[in-house]
Amino acid sequence: MDRVVVVGSLNMDINFSVPHIPTVGETIIATGMSLHRGGKGANQAVAIARLGGNVEMIGAVGNDENGTLIIEGLKEEKVGIEGLMVKEGTPTGTAIISVAENGDNNIIVHSGANYQLGKEDIDKNIELIKSARYCVLQLEIPYEVVKYTIDICYENDVKVIFNPAPAVTNIDVDMLSRVEYFLPNESELNIIAGKTVTEENILETCREIIGKGCRNVIVTLGERGSLWVTESEHKYFEALKVNAVDTTAAGDSFIGAFTFMLARGNDTAEAIKFATRAAAVTVTRKGAQDSLPVLAEVL
């Protein structure tokens, strides 16, 4: 199996169970609270490892209790931590997640050590990146570090899988041209495109991104499945109908499972179908990394 390197965020998640997602100015009472290891980067790395993949994590935590717990968790999951750094004078990243009774969520992130990850840290781990076949990135670390890493991957024939979350409106065109797989969700695509994306214009919107040089766009659409677009074709994939209790990490589960299948040598369509099943398992359980499935569950 090909090696994967994930360059991204590591957080401690504070989850609140709530009757519904609060509106502006509304105060509600949580029915429960729990702590979970999270961060988009770490979630995606654990998703790959739990399925049996060969994955290394590059990122940063603070010199605190949460950082220690996160490192211990990655070791337990058999995620390589050679590229993990402990930053002094800043806390480990933290996310506050509200999870409603119907499974909807919203998330507030304090970046902490994640935003102390610099280009020099990428340089220290350049051999680790070069040793991989795929590199997975998100946007919970500094944008310039993401761009710098993508340039290194391009120069060394490492295929980039880019999850633009949280979304920004000014993604560099040159950077997109160096991305093999671009994987936003529906709301992220709205922000990136600078317009409301509908069923009528979503294909056109994805083709605009393809026109900037990206080879594959895969948009996850929640309960409506996903859409895969290339320069010459497109295909919809249906979601599985399950009883969703928490959608936290559903996208991370999808991306991790998708990457795992590519690293096993499967084609894009097979990888999307497998990732759809993995995400379906994830939303039936609470938490971020706690909800990620092992291979037997997906099969």
Active site residues: 252
SS3 annotation, the chain: CCEEEEECCCEEEEEEEECCCCCCCCCCCCCEEEEEEECHHHHHHHHHHHCCCEEEEEEEEECCHHHHHHHHHHHHCCCEEEEEEEECCCCCEEEEEEEECCCCEEEEEECHHHHHCCHHHHHHCHHHHHCCCEEEECCCCCHHHHHHHHHHHHHCCCEEEECCCCCCCCCCHHHHCCCCEECCEHHHHHHHHCCCCCCCCHHHHHHHHHCCCCCEEEEECHHHCEEEECCCCEEEECCCCCCCCCCCCHHHHHHHHHHHHHHCCCCHHHHHHHHHHHHHHHCCCCCCHHHCCCHHHHC
